[in-house]
Amino acid sequence: MKKLSVVALAVAVALLPASTFAACPDENGPHNVFPFVYYTYHFGTGCAGTGGDVEETTLSCESTPGHQFTQGSGSVSYSMTAPSGRGGSLWHATVFVDFSDPHSSSLNAISATVFVYHNSSLTAYETFMSHSGNQGSLVCERFDSSALTVQDGDTVEVVYTGDNYYSDTTMKISTPIIFAN
């Protein structure tokens, strides 16, 4: 299976134009689930910076929007700035994945990594989803990152990478949902 380093991911994200992320994401909340109060941040596909062999799609679960990695390699990046008053809270990212590979090949692979930057310095990251064709099929499978500490004004990025060797392999990943509590 091909593996991309964190450095390569960071470079790919840095090359995306800043205007790609204007007015994204939508904030929802506060949601009260005693004893917690949390906010959710939903991205549309138009919020993404993309490169390579990637196209917009919908997933099998309730027409969830996302991206599909077509034959070849590609990347998708979502970015936001933590709003004032949300700092010091624990954040996590959630994605859903559809994956079907009739070849059961490790050459077909997809991953999702969340990065946190404070004053432009990387303070935390986690690859919270990584799947390849030899690991079987997924149908609207949910993946959650661990909780990450985010301060007011920090940049939170979710980056997807994918390599699709066979044209009949389906590799779809939803737009991310960010939870802050």
- Of the chain, the percentage scoring pLDDT greater than 90 comes to 78
pLDDT given at position 85: 87
Highest mean pLDDT among 35-39, 86-90, 159-163: 159-163
Residue 88 in this model has a pLDDT that exceeds 90: no
* CA 157 vs CA 87, 142, 146, 153: distances in Å: 16, 18, 14, 13
pLDDT given at position 59: 97
pLDDT grade for 23, boundaries at 50, 70 and 90: low
pLDDT grade for 8, boundaries at 50, 70 and 90: very low
Q: What is the pLDDT of residues 110-166, one digit of tens each?
A: 999 999 999 999 999 999 999 999 999 999 999 999 999 999 999 999 999 999 999
What's the mean pLDDT when you consider all of the chain?
A: 88
- Going from the N-terminus, what domains does the chain have, and what CATH number goes with each? 6-18+25-180 (2.60.120.260)
Q: What is the 3-state secondary structure (H, E, C) of the chain?
A: CCCCCHHHHHHHHHCCCHHHHCCCCEEEEEEEECCEEEEEEECCHHHCEEEEEEEEEECCCCCCEEEEEEEEEEEEEEEEECCCCCCCEEEEEEEEEEEECCCCCCCCEEEEEEEEEECCEEEEEEEEEEEEHHHCCEEEEEEECCCEEECCCCEEEEEEEEEECCCCCEEEEECCEEEEC
